[in-house]
Amino acid sequence: MGALSPEPARLSSGSASSGTPWLAIVGIGEDGRAGLSPAAARALDAARLVVGGRRHLALAAPLAAETLAWPSPIHEAYPAILARRGQPTCVLATGDPFHYGIGVELARLVPAAEIACYPQASAFSLAAARLGWPLADCACLTVHGRALERVIPHLQPGARLLVLSWDGTTPGRLAGLLAERGFAESRLTVLEAMGGPRERRREATAAGFAETEIDPLNTVAVAVAGGPEARVIPLAPGLDDAWFESDGQLTKEEVRAVTLAALRPRAGQRLWDVGAGSGSVSIEWCLRHPANRAVAIEAKDARADRIGRNARALGVPDLTVVRGRAPEALGDLPAPDAAFIGGGVSDPAVIAAVWAALPPGGRLVANAVTLESEPVLIEAHRRHGGTLRRIAIARAEPVGSMHGWRPAMPVTQWAAAKW
């Protein structure tokens, strides 16, 4: 899961910016040339090369310039674009090129001073306008080329979602996901080919969704409604243990909540979850912010497969699972901002390897439940400082006709920042 794309071509870091825009990125809608501003039309007509999807090129016709339809994979066209540096070149995009669009990728390759962008209304803006929804209050998501499960953390009763579809099957699949998770009464509005002569709008509940022959170019608006049975991802850590498929190798919910607090996740950070078991800590790390990333390292194949299933079921399908045993499996991984060691903590070499990989300011949290592991954490505390704590949890359970406290195994936790 979560394989990285090949590194695209880019202008040499030693190349000085010309400071003069030569690359025009033009947003085009379903109304084609008629919807372009005069400035965008001039940039399009002045180009010697026009790049875009076949649909974009057809919408922009007639074109006198040389044209290039996006290949698959799309990054194979980047060298041809960069080779035109200094010559008028135009890339066509849908709506706003910098809202889940090609503009974001091109700006990684070409200095901003050499780009002139002419955006149009995004699909999100058009959908909000059609429905009278305040765009600022909507979650704007895309499953175009991405896993559908990415919407799961956003399924909060009363929420409004705007979802860019992958194709004509996406609305039906989304309706099925909603019904499966207890949001059957959510209302879906499918907005097809907005802004052009083929525009169409259809509505149904998730439970009653039966629409077919949906245009591949569609956006789905979801008014989320969930009853008592709805599985809502809470905003705080400590998900119910029952939500995780597990063979018993699971950081329990109370300890997990304390562990996430000790890790202190920040937006956009990457976690190493070493000896991940069921993946519960790395999954909850990713749920703290959409930009967070995690690598779950697990030696046992059955557990690694289980981590993938748990990640998809809980809305973080981009979690990366690495099969292997630490410290050997850590060598080629991208460096972490924080790390959690839940399995293998009895081996001092694992702690040493993870600590060495952390950058200044990086945090490491390790939990131990065995007598053999505890001295390793005490020694780590002596070497690196930080905090040691003992976490003891007891739950009320039936004792005959009454109830009593049944203690769980105590957990020794070491947490430290690297300075």
Tally of domains within the chain: 3
Confidence of residue 343 (pLDDT cuts 50, 70, 90): confident
**Domain closes at, from 223, 257, 277:** 223
Same domain, 186 and 334: no
Report field, pTM of the whole predicted structure over 0.85: yes
Average pLDDT rounded to a whole number, residues 381-406: 97
Q: Which tokens go with 332?
A: 């080629």
Q: Which long-range contacts (CB under 8 A, 24 or more apart) does 323-330 make?
A: 323/298, 323/299, 324/297, 324/299, 325/299, 326/274, 326/275, 326/297, 326/350, 326/353, 326/354, 327/352, 327/353, 327/354, 329/297, 329/299, 330/272, 330/274, 330/297, 330/354, 330/357
Largest Cα–Cα separation, the chain: 86
SS3 content of the chain, % helix, strand, coil (to 5): 30, 25, 45
* Percent with pLDDT over 70 in the chain: 96
Asked if residue 342 lies in contact with residue 320, where contact means CB atoms within 8 angstroms, the answer is: no
pLDDT value of residue 19? 72
Q: What is the pLDDT of residues 10-28, one digit of tens each?
A: 664 445 555 789 999 999 9
Amino acid letter, residue 342 = G
Same domain, 184 and 318: no
Same domain, 166 and 274: no
Q: Over 80: is that where the pLDDT of 158 sits?
A: yes
pLDDT value of residue 127? 98
What is the residue-wise DSSP string for 314-349?
TT-TT-EEEES-TTGGGTTSPPPSEEEE-SSTT-HH
pLDDT value of residue 216? 96
Query: Is the residue at 12 inside a domain?
Result: no
Rounded Cα–Cα distance for residues 347 and 344 (Å): 6
Confidence of residue 316 (pLDDT cuts 50, 70, 90): very high
Query: Per DSSP, what are the bridge partners of residue 404?
Result: 397
Q: How many CB atoms lie within 10 A of CB 214?
A: 19
Average pLDDT rounded to a whole number, residues 240-256: 95
Domain region containing 326: 241-417
Q: Over 90: is that where the pLDDT of 84 sits?
A: yes
Where would I find the beta strands (DSSP E) of 165-217? 187-192, 200-205
Same domain, 202 and 306: no
Rounded Cα–Cα distance for residues 373 and 391 (Å): 15
Rounded Cα–Cα distance for residues 363 and 361 (Å): 6
* Percent with pLDDT over 90 in the chain: 93
Average pLDDT rounded to a whole number, residues 365-370: 96
Beta-carbon contacts of 310 under 8 Å, excluding residues fewer than 6 positions away, are 244, 245, 278, 279, 280, 283
Same domain, 175 and 152: yes
Average pLDDT rounded to a whole number, residues 312-336: 96
**Domain closes at, from 102, 120, 138:** 120
Amino acid letter, residue 219 = T
Rounded Cα–Cα distance for residues 129 and 353 (Å): 53
Query: Is the residue at 234 inside a domain?
Result: no
Q: Over 90: is that where the pLDDT of 308 sits?
A: yes
Same domain, 145 and 269: no
Same domain, 210 and 266: no
pLDDT value of residue 13? 41
Strands 89-94 and 23-28 come out as parallel
**Domain closes at, from 99, 120, 141:** 120
Same domain, 167 and 277: no
Asked if residue 85 lies in contact with residue 22, where contact means CB atoms within 8 angstroms, the answer is: yes
Residue 73, domain CATH: 3.40.1010.10
Average pLDDT rounded to a whole number, residues 184-188: 98
Site of tokens 């694992």: 350
Task: Provide the sign of the torsion angle of the four alpha carbons 91, 95, 96, 97, taken in this order.
Answer: negative
Pick left, alpha or beta for residue 258 (phi over 0 → left; psi -120 to 50 → alpha; otherwise beta). alpha
Query: Is the residue at 16 inside a domain?
Result: no
What is the residue-wise DSSP string for 23-63?
EEEEEE-TTGGGGS-HHHHHHHHH-SEEEE-HHHHHHH-S-
Residue 291, domain CATH: 3.40.50.150
Q: Which tokens go with 120?
A: 């149009």
Confidence of residue 199 (pLDDT cuts 50, 70, 90): very high
